[in-house]
A and B are shown apart, each in its own frame.
Chain A
Amino acid sequence: MTHHAKLTFKASLMGISAFIASPALADGTLAGEDITKTVTANYNIAGVAQAQEAASNTFYVDRKVNVVTATVGTSPNVSAGATQVVREFSITNTSNAPVGYALSVTQDVGAQYAISNVEIWIDANNSDDIDNGETPIAVIDSIAVDDTQNVKVRFDIPASAADGESSDIILTANAVETGSGGATEIVATAGPNTSGASSTDIETVLADGAGETDSAHFFSAHSRCQRG
């Protein structure tokens, strides 16, 4: 099962001094941005203007972590004993902050054969091969807000696979802190609403825990291609 969701991030324009075309306000607030509400009051007493009164509040936007993965292209049938079968997936960061993703490949519980020699990599030259300096990866260190990173997965089909047997290939992208090399899983946090002066001031909400491996991960999303 796949699903797609994409946030469109628009640049924010401040201080509108003249009526301008198209909405000037941003779409999608980044973690750490402030929500400062101000109100001013002007009034008269006996027809005489008085000094302006004002009041304000400030709160801060926390981090909402979410990801969408999807299959890319078709998934044609393969032959028993085939090696380095390639499938492609996309990973889109729909959070409001840069997020890293730890990647893993599994098969569905109903798989009728077990794949082997699984490797994940970013195919920069689109050769369907790990070449030209490319290396297998287990982590994408950081995907920017609303950016998508495609990865390819290759694996071997056992020679013992019988005609008509099938298996789903599941890519799981688990949110991890950027710069942690995949070592620090992102978890939900709670605390007072304070400024983002440090990373600990910004709380984290996991937007969507739905995924085939929810039980094994705090946060994950998956996609599958059939008949691998």
Chain B
Amino acid sequence: MFRPFQSFLAAGALALCLAVPAAAQTAASPPSQVSLESDIKLVKESIGQDGSRRIELVEPSTIIPGDRLLFGISYSNNGAEAVSDFELVNPLPKAVKLTHDADGDLIVSVDGGNHWGRLADLGITQPDGTDRPAQPSDVTHIRWTLAVVQPGESGRLEYSAIVR
């Protein structure tokens, strides 16, 4: 049985959202369209000659358990009208788990998208009937909701995951 620590419904919650507003079109235009692009990058860490830690985002070629991936979603309102109640849902692939340093304000689900909330507000009922706090590895879905995306506006959402 799902038992959130407190009831919480996210409306218009933003996480790692970079909005780039642009001037609206004045002439009549066809219905607005939203475009989406999804990408995955491998987070590659190395130590520079000066001993400093370097982080690169590279196209994944070899991926093995323990690798850190950066999942990105780019969106754009390509039409002439504003888009409202823009809701993006990203099921986590079963081969990865959310990292422990994920944004605490992300709206997530730990039960396949049936219930949503901040991870800190969610719990898991164990086989013996006791509850425990939900962990990043329990997350099944992430959801972002933007109240309005203006014509010409684009943005990007990201989160990190570890290959199980």
Residues of A participating in the B interface, judged by any CB pair closer than 8 Å: 12, 14-29, 33-47, 50, 53-57, 59-64, 96, 190-193, 203, 205, 207
Contact = CB atoms under 8 A, between A and B. Distances in A.
B64 A61 contact: yes
Contacts of B39: 57
A63 B164 contact: no
Interface residues of B, number: 55
12 contacts: A21-B125, A21-B127, A25-B97, A25-B137, A35-B95, A43-B34, A45-B31, A61-B64, A61-B163, A96-B64, A191-B62, A203-B62
B125 A36 contact: no
B149 interface: yes
Interface of B: 1-2, 31-32, 34-40, 60-66, 69, 71, 73, 75, 79, 81-91, 93-97, 110-112, 114-115, 124-127, 135, 137-138, 140, 149, 163-164
Given A21-B127, A36-B93, A45 B61 contact: no
Main secondary structure of the interface of A (DSSP, over half): loop
A57 to B, nearest CB: 5
Contacts of B60: 59, 193
Given A21-B124, A22-B124, A53-B36, A38 B114 contact: no
A207 B2 CA distance: 39
A56 to B, nearest CB: 6
Contact of A43 (B87, B97, B110, B125): B87
Contacts of B81: 45-46
A14 B34 CA distance: 30
A23 B138 contact: yes
B64 A55 contact: no
Contact of A64 (B32, B64, B79, B127): B64
Nearest to B96: A35
Contact of A39 (B36, B61, B79, B95): B36
B70 to A, nearest CB: 11
A55 B115 CA distance: 23
Contact of B38 (A22, A38, A45, A64): A38
Nearest to B137: A23
Contacts of A19: 1-2, 110-111, 114-115, 125
